[in-house]
Every structure is written in structure tokens, then in C-alpha cells.
Structure 1
Amino acid sequence: MDVPDLLRRAAALIPADARSDAGLSADDVQEYLSYEEWEVALSILEDFDGVQWQTIQYWDLLIAAAQQMWLDRDVAWFQWRRSETLHGLIRADLQLVAPDAGGRRLPVPSNGQLRPLWSLGRPTAEGSADLHIAFIWVESAPEIPPGGYGPIRLLPLTPLHWRRLKPGDVITMYEQRPVAGTATIAQVQLPRSTTG
């Protein structure tokens, strides 16, 4: 299947009333495809947010199109979004501890490669922090500098432990013994299969 076919199939999965962050619809995707503006059509398709209607098939079509177009960063992003469709969406605002206070000395990269430990606020029976791993994707920036602040998305390895979180909750990030940062939960959206 070629790129235009993949993108047309993805556009066909968009509900009629769904709009991208820029207010565009599936019809706009089809229009750009008629002009052979594949990258524009792909960028519109990725701009639809949420996990309530997006399916694994939708993301697989975008992944396949991005692979054929040699857009490696888009492939990684679509794979991330595919995982959110399966496991849920968690957004937070991360404040890193300053390096001179024991925080990390390197920036947090935006590409979902960093996977620190997180304390979700419940201690174990022994009284120590109950730690869970989650990957970080930095939103709207190439990275978060040491001691910096920025919006992130989290992709937990054990999603069930994270489902009790709600906006306003504060979780703690660890990479070693001292605290590396804190994140305030901004949004939690459960996957479609768990919301009934």
C-alpha cells in the first residue's frame, strides 16, 4: 500500500465531528491528498488528540506512511501515540531539580528514551517509596534543560498502577538516590476499553 492509500484509510477512520487542534477535519486531509501534499496530510492526521476514537489501526496506518516517507521522528511519535491508545494518556508538568541541588546535569530528551523511576505517592508496606517506571516524552520542546520546567507525557510500563492519578496529583521522579524532579499531573485519560 502506498503513502496516499495509507493516509486515505487513516482519514476514513476519523469521526465526522472530530477536529484537529487547528480545527481541521478528515475532509481537509483528503483535500491535501488530492494535491499530493502527503506531509501536510500526515501532520493534520497526527494533530487529532485523545484516545477515545483513535484505534491501533489508525496509528499503524500513520506509522506505515511515516516509515515509507523516511520520517523517523514521526514514526517514534506515532508508536508512542499507539501505546497511549492501548494504555491511556498521562500528561504532566515536570520541574527538574537544579544540578547544584543534586539534580541531573543533562537535559531530558524529548524523544521518549528516558525512563526514570516514579513514586506515585503510596509507600510500600515497609514504608519505602513504591517506585514505577515510565518513559518521558517532552512536549513542545526539543528537551527540558537541567533544573528546567516543561510539559511531558508519561508512558508507564505498568499502566494499571497509574490509573488512580488525577489532575493536580504530584509524583516524584528518581534516577538515583536524590530526587530528580517532581511532576504535577495535568491530564489522565483512560483507554477506551476501560472507560466503558
Structure 2
Amino acid sequence: MDVPDLLDRAATMVAANAADEAGARVAEVREYLQHHEWEIALDLLADLDEWPAGAEWWDLLAEAADLMRLSDTAAWCRWRHWESIHGIIRAELTLVPAADGGRRTPIPGQGVLRPLWHIGQYMPEGHPDLRVARIWVESAPELAPGATGPIRLAPMAPVAWRGLRPAQTITMHEGTPVRGTATITEVSGPR
């Protein structure tokens, strides 16, 4: 399929009343498609968060982004594909400042870093049972050392993370020391 066909197919899967934060609806997506404004149409579709988008829908958007060579958008759509299957975990992460033993480099924004997390579970011997999860920094290309910002987490073993609750605090580790503290803001199951 070519880009217009992929985006048109994705648009037909969305409820007519679905809208993004700015109020844009599927009818506007169709207008942009008619005018060959494919990147704008793709962005509008990817911003329609308030409907139960499934993995197939995110695959269509990722394929369209790949065909347009929009690697950042394709990465986001693949992330959302994963979330549609495994659920969403969002948190507010505060990194330890570099002067206090924290990271000296920023956390890259697009799910590259896979640190260890203490999510409240312990091994039989009594030490923390650390778990791996990728980080997606929201609304920024990276999170600077010592900074605070919203993130999304993609655990390597999602089932082990199902007990998380909003307002729960978890810690990020890279080696032995704590590198950051995150407060869970949202936990939702697969769509």
C-alpha cells in the first residue's frame, strides 16, 4: 500500500467523534489527505489518543511514517503499538543531579535507554528484585541530568509490573546507585 491508502485505511478505523487535544477530527484528516498533506494527516491521526487504537492501527501509521522517512514518528507509532498490546505506564521522573552521583548525560527520549527499576518487589534473600524497562521521554527529545519530566515505560516483562498504581514511587538504577525516582501517574491495561 502507498501512504494515502495506509492513512485512509487508518482514518476509516477511527470513530467519527474521536478528536485530538486541539479538537481535530477525522473529517480534517480526510481534508488533508485530499490535498496530499500526508504528514499533517499522519500527525493528526497519531494524536488521537482518546479512542481505543489497536496494534493494527498503529502498524498502519508506522508503515506510512516509514514510507515518508519520518523515523521519529515511526518510532512513536511502534511504541504505541507496544502499549496497545501491553498497556501504558506513565510517570514523572526526577533524575539525581550529576553532582550528587547521578547521570552525567541526558536520557535519550525515544525508548533507547533500558535501565533497571525497583518497583517494590524483593528477592527471597531480601534484596530488591530489579526489573528492566525502556524509557520514552514525553514532550522532549531528552531528559537532562538532574531534571524532572514525564516519561512512559515499556517493561521487558510487562506482567511483573501489573501491580503498579498511580502515586506509587519507583526508583531507577544504572548499577548500584539510584539514578532517579519516578512517581507513577497512569497505569492502564491493553486496549
State the TM-score, normalizing by the size of structure 2: 0.97
Structure 1 alignment gaps of length 5 or more: none
State the SS of the aligned residue for 1:19. coil
Residue in 2 aligned with 1:79?
A: 78
Residue in 2 aligned with 1:70?
A: 69
Residue in 1 aligned with 2:92?
A: 93
1:152-185: CA deviation from partner (whole Å, max 9, x where unpaired): 0000011111111111000000011110001000
Q: Which amino acid aligns with 2:18?
A: A
Residue in 1 aligned with 2:30?
A: 30
Q: Which amino acid aligns with 2:23?
A: G
How is 1:20-169 mapped onto 2 (pairs within 5 angstroms)? 20-49=20-49, 53-169=52-168
Select between 81-90 and 16-25 the one with higher mean Cα deviation: 16-25
Query: What RMSD in Å do the two structures reach over aligned CA positions?
Result: 1.1
1:80-137: CA deviation from partner (whole Å, max 9, x where unpaired): 1100001001110000011121111100110110000000012222110011100000
TM-superposed deviation, 1:20: 1.3
Counterparts of 2:132 and 2:104 in 1: how far apart (Å)?
20
- Indicate yes or no: 2:168 matched with 1:176: no
TM-superposed deviation, 1:55: 1.3
Counterparts of 2:165 and 2:22 in 1: how far apart (Å)?
27
Counterparts of 1:168 and 1:33 in 2: how far apart (Å)?
42
Counterparts of 1:49 and 1:58 in 2: how far apart (Å)?
12
Identity of aligned residues (%): 52
Counterparts of 1:88 and 1:43 in 2: how far apart (Å)?
22
CA contact (8 A) 1:138 1:144 kept: yes
TM-superposed deviation, 1:16: 2.5
Counterparts of 1:19 and 1:79 in 2: how far apart (Å)?
21
Counterparts of 2:35 and 2:27 in 1: how far apart (Å)?
13
TM-superposed deviation, 1:17: 2.6
Residue in 2 aligned with 1:6?
A: 6
| Count of residues in correspondence between the two structures | 191
Counterparts of 1:90 and 1:22 in 2: how far apart (Å)?
24
Counterparts of 1:121 and 1:102 in 2: how far apart (Å)?
22
CA contact (8 A) 1:15 1:53 kept: no
Task: Tell me which stretches of 4 or more aligned residues in structure 1 moved more than 2 Å.
Answer: none
State the TM-score, normalizing by the size of structure 1: 0.94
Structure 2 alignment gaps of length 5 or more: none
TM-superposed deviation, 1:10: 0.4
Counterparts of 1:13 and 1:80 in 2: how far apart (Å)?
19
